[in-house]
């Protein structure tokens, strides 16, 4: 059974079971299935022959799930965009999606669009129920209808006793795209990773078996925003198991007082988060098995799992399994898994990230593409049935990172991760990046993305962003910038004050262009950017200069 069939099946046999809950709003399996049926029918009616991916803008409201399912039921992929994405980025993403509709089920749509190609600095007038996307012909430009909460609720109420599933004859399946998730792109523009229904279904066949075996009907923690592919691990694994998804809103995650109360109320049994989020919770002494007595499994992905975190979790939650998984968005969330033992946590640094799931294999390649033997370090290359078809409308980037290979079992997709690692006894170890991609609090960031956006600001000639490390892990970012017209000679007190003001101004300008987690904590102005002998910005010199 594929994921849509499974959900429909639960809606028939356990219609009253809660499928999703935020602490404020909840939906049962019966409601989720029926509402998404009705919305799918409306999408089919309005979009007609246009089967392009549909943006779903919002945060954690249960209608987000209804919208995702409605899109795929109607034969269209969806692209989740979290409310925390700044307006400029929302505009860039919308410009690459050719659907005439944007679903905005979770509050107000605020994605204004700027057009640098015209003389207008701001987007043309935006009405409450539509947005105008400027851009080049053939892309996602033009008027898009915004379907906000009111419109969606009208659609959900529009009954009809007959089986509305007859109204959308062709749900997404097989090699059709199921979702598109945008990640940071080194050129300063986000890139959309395409994931097919087959990729997702192969992933789920495996993810339902991770950790403690009894996941049927369990409560899953959803920490990550839906625009981060880690959320796929909780959202669809939960729905595939007939479980309840407990969505932890950003506001609650940031409010230390209510976070523990909220976790306690959730009754979480399967924990899915980045290690950073678990570390944040560990700082509160209440975070232990008494708070979450039913917790059976910690599922981690997205960044290095530190040994100390595992040991502290094992002390506080002696009955729970700790599972480390690894993979990029481009291979559908995760492709390797290991249940971490105390012995591993005490002896092995870095911890292994695990063995590949069925249908996936790994190669460690040298820069010429030769396969290296066990124990030797090189680039991790992932091959198998969950590797993406590529980046949306970016054949140039797709060709660079992805490839197809003929095998005895037919053609297989492969992806160059740019992660460094090695295999030992069939177990993968990930040792870092080979490029300028970093993970900060679990978020994937291309430093080039920040640098290119800094260089768009007036008066800036060059920008380099350097990660700051604490206890072996990236804790913040510092931007070094040189101006087009550097101040001459000694810096006066007044110039110093102006510099502080300017740094504040730049941060505010950047906030328009980048998500909050990508804004450098410090901005340092340099008279001249240090250069290497071949004329590139000398990152090592700047690393040495860090405050």
Subset of 350-369 contacting ligand AMP (CB under 6 A)? 353
| From candidates 444, 467, 479, 542, binder to ligand AMP by CB under 6 A | 444
Structure-derived torsion over alpha carbons of residues 504, 510, 514, 519, reported in degrees to the nearest 10: -30
Is 302 a residue that touches ligand AMP (CB under 6 A)? yes
- Nearest CB to ligand AMP, comparing residues 408 and 425: 425
Stretch that binds ligand AMP, among 244-252, 325-333, 483-491, 507-515 (CB under 6 A): 325-333
User: Can residue 301 be called a binding residue for ligand AMP (CB under 6 A)?
Assistant: yes
Which residue number, 168 or 443, has a Cβ lying nearer to ligand AMP?
443
Binding of ligand AMP at residue 412 (CB under 6 A)? no
Q: Which is nearer to ligand AMP, 123 or 301 (CB)?
A: 301
Q: Is 304 in the site for ligand AMP (CB under 6 A)?
A: yes
Helices (H), 74-221: 87-95, 149-157, 197-207
Q: Which residue lies nearer to ligand AMP by CB, 198 or 419?
A: 419
Identify the bridge partners of residue 324 per DSSP, sorted by sequence position.
300, 338
Distance of closest approach, residue 486 Cβ to ligand AMP, in angstroms:
36
Given a contact cutoff of 8 angstroms between Cβ atoms, the answer to whether 221 and 268 are in contact is yes
The number of CA neighbours under 13 Å toward the Cβ of 410 is 3
CA 442, 445, 448 angle in degrees (round to 5)? 165
Q: How far is the CB of 360 from ligand AMP (least distance, A)?
A: 14
Q: How many other C-beta atoms lie within 10 A of the C-beta of residue 118?
A: 10
Q: Is 106 in the site for ligand AMP (CB under 6 A)?
A: no
Nearest in space to 97 (alpha carbons), one of 51, 37, 43, 58: 51
Size of the site for ligand AMP (CB under 6 A): 18
Which of 417, 463, 477, 542 touches ligand AMP (CB under 6 A)? Answer: 417
Per-residue x/- mask for ligand AMP, residues 168 to 187, rule CB under 6 A? ---------------x----
Write the secondary structure of 391-424 as one string of H (helix), E (strand) and C (coil).
ECCCHHHHHHHEEEEEECCEEEEEEEEEEEEEEE
Among 83, 383, 430, 440, binds ligand AMP (CB under 6 A): 430
Closest approach of ligand AMP to the CB of residue 154, in Å: 36
Residue 73 and residue 282: Cα distance in Å, rounded? Answer: 40
Give which of 186, 201, 138, 168 is closest to 75, Cα–Cα: 168
Written as six digits, the tokens of 58 are 């919002």
Nearer to ligand AMP, 427 or 503 (CB): 427
Q: Does 273 bind ligand AMP (CB under 6 A)?
A: no
- Tokens read off for 412: 């297989």
How far is residue 514 from each of residues 135, 189, 242, measured CA to CA in Å? 20, 10, 37
- Whether the Cβ atoms of residue 476 and residue 468 lie closer than 8 Å to each other: yes
Q: Indicate which single residue of 276, 324, 332, 478 sits in contact with ligand AMP (rule: CB under 6 A).
A: 324
Pick 103 or 270: Cβ nearer ligand AMP? 270
Which CB atom, from 250 or from 483, has the smaller least distance to ligand AMP?
250
Angle at 191 between CA 513 and CA 383, to 5 degrees: 150
CB of 540 to ligand AMP, least distance (A): 21
Residues contributing to the site for ligand AMP (CB under 6 A): 183, 229, 301-305, 324, 326, 328-329, 353, 417, 419, 430, 433, 439, 444
């Amino acid at each position: 059974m594929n994921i849509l069939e499974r959900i429909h099946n639960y809606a028939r046999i356990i219609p009253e079971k809660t499928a999703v809950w935020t602490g404020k709003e909840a939906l049962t399996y019966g409601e989720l299935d029926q509402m998404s049926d009705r919305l799918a029918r409306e999408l089919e009616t309005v979009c007609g022959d246009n089967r392009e991916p549909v943006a779903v803008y919002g945060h954690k409201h249960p209608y987000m799930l209804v919208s995702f399912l409605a899109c795929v039921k109607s034969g269209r992929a969806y692209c989740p965009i979290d409310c925390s994405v700044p307006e400029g980025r929302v505009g860039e993403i919308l410009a690459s999606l050719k659907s005439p509709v944007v679903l905005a089920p979770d509050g107000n749509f605020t994605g204004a669009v700027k057009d640098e190609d015209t003389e207008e600095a701001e987007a043309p007038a935006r009405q409450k129920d539509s947005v105008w996307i400027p851009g080049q012909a053939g892309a996602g430009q033009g008027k898009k209808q915004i379907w906000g909460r009111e419109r969606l609720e009208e659609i959900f109420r529009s009954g009809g006793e007959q089986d509305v599933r007859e109204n959308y004859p062709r749900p997404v399946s097989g090699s059709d795209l199921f979702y598109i998730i945008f990640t940071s792109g080194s050129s300063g523009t986000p890139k959309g990773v395409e994931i097919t229904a087959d990729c997702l279904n192969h992933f789920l066949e495996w993810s339902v078996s991770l950790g403690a075996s009894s996941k049927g009907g369990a409560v899953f923690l959803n920490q990550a925003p839906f625009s981060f592919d880690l959320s796929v691990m909780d959202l669809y694994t939960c729905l595939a198991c007939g479980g309840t998804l407990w969505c932890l809103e950003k506001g609650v995650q940031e409010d230390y007082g209510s976070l523990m109360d909220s976790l306690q109320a959730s009754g979480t049994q399967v924990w899915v988060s980045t290690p950073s989020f678990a570390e944040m919770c560990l700082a509160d002494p209440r975070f232990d098995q008494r708070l979450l007595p039913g917790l059976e499994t910690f599922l981690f992905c997205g960044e290095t799992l530190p040994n100390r975190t595992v040991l502290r979790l094992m002390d506080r939650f002696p009955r729970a399994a700790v599972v480390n998984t690894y993979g990029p968005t481009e291979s559908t969330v995760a492709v390797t898994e290991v249940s971490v033992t105390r012995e591993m946590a005490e002896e092995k640094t870095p911890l292994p990230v695990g063995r590949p799931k069925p249908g996936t294999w790994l190669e460690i390649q040298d820069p010429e593409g030769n396969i290296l033997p066990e124990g030797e370090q090189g680039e991790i290359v992932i091959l198998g049935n969950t590797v993406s078809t590529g980046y949306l409308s970016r054949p140039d980037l797709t060709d660079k990172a992805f490839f197809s290979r003929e095998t005895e079992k037919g053609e297989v997709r492969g992806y160059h991760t740019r992660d460094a690692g090695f295999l030992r006894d069939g177990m993968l170890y990930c040792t870092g990046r080979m490029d300028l991609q970093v993970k900060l609090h679990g978020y994937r960031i291309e430093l080039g993305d920040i640098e290119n956006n800094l260089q768009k600001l007036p008066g800036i000639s060059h920008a380099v962003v350097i990660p700051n490390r604490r206890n072996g892990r990236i804790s913040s970012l510092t931007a070094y910038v040189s101006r087009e017209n550097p101040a001459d000679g000694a810096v006066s007190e007044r110039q110093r004050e102006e510099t502080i003001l300017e740094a504040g101004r730049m941060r505010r300008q950047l906030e328009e262009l980048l998500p909050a987690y990508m804004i450098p904590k410090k901005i340092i102005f340099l008279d001249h950017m240090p250069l290497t002998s071949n004329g590139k910005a000398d990152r090592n010199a700047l690393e040495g200069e860090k405050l």
